[in-house]
């Protein structure tokens, strides 16, 4: 290959040749291995690997995996023009979007994705176990042939299975399981949020602080207990801290009153933290029905943003998150930029009282 083609480097020239060959039908669906490409184009394997990495970063080919060919994505440029792409948007069966999340996702799709002429298909992920997650993900890839993946509050096994497809992925929260440096997206840092809330509540005189653990988030209990030990380990025993972090088994709405009353009495909690809108609303309902006055008799902290909870802000504390740059990061990802993951900055907002 002429290394001075239009003044470009060898990897850049290889990228152009790959794009042209894809457009001409030489490579279909998958690219061959780097050594095969090196022989085909008459360049070094190192130059091909550099070219493939750049194409991967731009969302034109899937990430490489040992023993697997790279999938050609619809984002592959042909004559410098991007083609129509399909986004597979995955929602969890056990986590509902609150009003703030819905507004954020709508803005991503309506202001960034759809104006570029791209399409979206929605699916729901459910069940546990790595084998089931991989099987379901494989079925979706075959059925829809997506070019990119977005996942809202995905459990760890689903995030891992989706990452293994090699497709560019944008995570809206969820259990990253050590993949934050390999995907794009944003999330609250659970450990930071829990610590901020515990410190603020302790300053208000609380030590018995109840924090329900979502049943579908296997990593949360240990993270929560670790922070409890750090902030409250000098005043609570290990058994007491474990009792303050019970698993909430996603009960039917009618079971919530019984669950809250049982664990409030058992833990002798004087404050409650919650990560989900439905939990907070159910707790407020229980307090109203039982005559528990907020915040005089029970301090409540909502560790999420929610327009609905704004109605209760005078009597509950809030941990809000700076989401001002989320749309910017999604746009960069949608345009094929380098993967970036960001933890949202938590902001404590004390209630004003009754």
SS (H, E, C) 6-70: HHCCHHHHHHHHHHHHHHCCCCCCEECCHHHHHHHHCCCHHHHHHHHHHHHHCCCECCCECCECE
Please compute the mean of the pLDDT values over residues 127-155 and round it to a whole number: 87
More confident residue, 277 or 149: 149
Q: Give residue 224's pLDDT.
A: 94
Rounded CA gap, 286 and 66, in Å?
A: 54
More confident residue, 286 or 250: 286
% the chain with pLDDT above 90: 42
Q: Give residue 62's pLDDT.
A: 83
Q: Which of 94-98, 133-137, 212-216 has the lowest mean pLDDT?
A: 94-98
Rounded CA gap, 15 and 132, in Å?
A: 37
Contact 309, 351 (CB under 8 A): no
Please compute the mean of the pLDDT values over residues 237-256 and round it to a whole number: 82
- Average of per-residue pLDDT values in the chain: 86
**Helices 156-163 & 130-144, crossing angle to 10 degrees?**
50
Q: Which of 20-29, 113-122, 145-154, 283-292 has the lowest mean pLDDT?
A: 20-29
The 3-class SS string of 97-114 reads CCHHHHHHHHHHHHHHHH
Instruction: Report angle CA 63, 68, 70 to the nearest 5 degrees.
Output: 40
pLDDT tens digits along 60-115? 888 877 777 888 876 664 444 456 789 999 998 777 787 778 888 999 999 999 98
Rounded CA gap, 239 and 241, in Å?
A: 5
Kindly list the structural domains of the chain, giving each domain's residue range(s) and its CATH number in brackets, ordered by start. Answer: 7-71 (1.10.10.10), 86-186 (3.40.50.2300), 190-321 (3.40.50.2300)
* Structure confidence at residue 252 as a pLDDT band (50, 70, 90): low
pTM score, whole prediction: 0.68
Give yes or no for residue 41 having a pLDDT over 80: yes
pLDDT tens digits along 254-287? 678 889 999 999 999 999 999 888 889 899 999 9
């Amino acid at each position: 290959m002429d290394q001075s083609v239009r003044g470009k480097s060898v990897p850049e020239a290889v990228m152009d040749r790959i794009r042209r060959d894809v457009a001409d039908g030489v490579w279909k669906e998958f690219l061959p291995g780097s050594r095969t490409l090196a022989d085909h184009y008459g360049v070094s394997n190192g130059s091909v690997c550099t070219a493939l990495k750049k194409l991967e970063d731009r969302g034109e080919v899937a990430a490489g995996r040992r023993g697997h060919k790279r999938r050609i994505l619809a984002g592959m440029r042909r004559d410098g023009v991007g083609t129509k792409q399909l986004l597979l948007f995955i929602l969890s069966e056990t986590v509902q979007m609150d009003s703030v999340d819905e507004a954020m996702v709508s803005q991503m799709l309506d202001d960034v994705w759809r104006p570029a002429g791209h399409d979206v298909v929605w699916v729901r992920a459910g069940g546990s176990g790595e084998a089931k997650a991989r099987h379901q993900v494989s079925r979706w890839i075959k059925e829809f042939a997506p070019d990119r993946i977005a996942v809202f509050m995905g459990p760890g096994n689903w995030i891992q299975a989706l990452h293994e497809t090699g497709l560019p992925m944008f995570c809206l929260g969820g259990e990253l399981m050590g993949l934050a440096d390999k995907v794009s997206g944003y999330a609250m840092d659970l450990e930071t949020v829990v610590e901020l809330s515990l410190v603020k509540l302790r300053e208000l005189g609380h030590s018995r602080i109840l924090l329900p653990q979502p049943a579908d988030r296997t990593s949360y209990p240990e993270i929560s207990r670790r922070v409890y030990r750090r902030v409250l380990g000098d005043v609570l025993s290990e058994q007491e801290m474990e009792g303050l972090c019970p698993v909430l088994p996603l009960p039917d709405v009618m079971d919530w009153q019984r669950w809250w009353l049982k664990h409030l009495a058992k833990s002798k909690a004087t404050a409650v933290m919650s990560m989900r809108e439905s939990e907070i609303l159910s707790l407020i309902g229980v307090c109203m029905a039982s005559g528990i006055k907020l915040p005089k008799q029970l301090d409540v902290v909502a560790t999420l943003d929610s327009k609905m909870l704004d109605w209760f802000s005078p009597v509950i504390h809030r941990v809000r998150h700076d989401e001002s740059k989320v749309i910017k990061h999604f746009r960069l990802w949608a345009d094929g930029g380098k993967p970036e993951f960001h933890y949202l900055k938590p902001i404590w907002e004390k209630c004003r009282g009754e």
